[in-house]
Amino acid sequence: MEENNFHLTLYFLGEVDQEEIPAIQQLLQATTREVPPFTVEFDTLGTFPPRGVPRVVWIGLKESTPLQELYRSLLGRLKILGYKEEKKPFFPHVTLGRVRSPRNTGHLVKLLKTVRGSIPAEEVREIFLMESTLTPKGPIYEVVSRFSLKKSSG
């Protein structure tokens, strides 16, 4: 697992025309101006799909009102650009990595159920517009733009 590839997806845009990027950047800027930095706490480990051969390993996040508000605000603005709400409810999680081979996945699933511990909470201070390219060796993520959350006035 490549630590640089750990990420939380607020909304997967899919294929985006280059002409749409400035409008997406504007709505991300408007969204982040409203939301102050906040802390997220980590919860349980799991895989996608939840049954059968795992393809993705993730760690869930505990309920976070600020994260939900950030998501709802972003989604509201994306709808204006024609993006639709995903059919599945928003499930905040950090993707830790992809499973490359089905060999020994039973062992992986058992191991994930036994892992416990205290992972420190993490402060969210910015969000990124990312480009991802899937390759046979795994995904390549590239930062298109970064947006700082609202600075406190104190």
| Cα 7 → chain centroid | 5
Distance, first Cα to last Cα, the chain? 39
7 is catalytic: yes
| Helical (H) or strand (E) element with 143 | strand 138-148
State the Cα–Cα distance between residues 124 and 27, nearest whole angstrom.
Answer: 18
Task: In the chain, count H helices and then E strands.
Answer: 3, 7
Q: Which of 7, 8, 122, 145 is catalytic?
A: 7
107 is catalytic: no
Contact 47, 58 (CB under 8 A): yes
**Helix (H, G, I), strand (E, B), or coil: what is residue 55?**
coil
Q: Which of 31, 47, 74, 93 is catalytic?
A: 93
Place of tokens 């910015």: 126
| Residues catalogued as catalytic | 7, 93
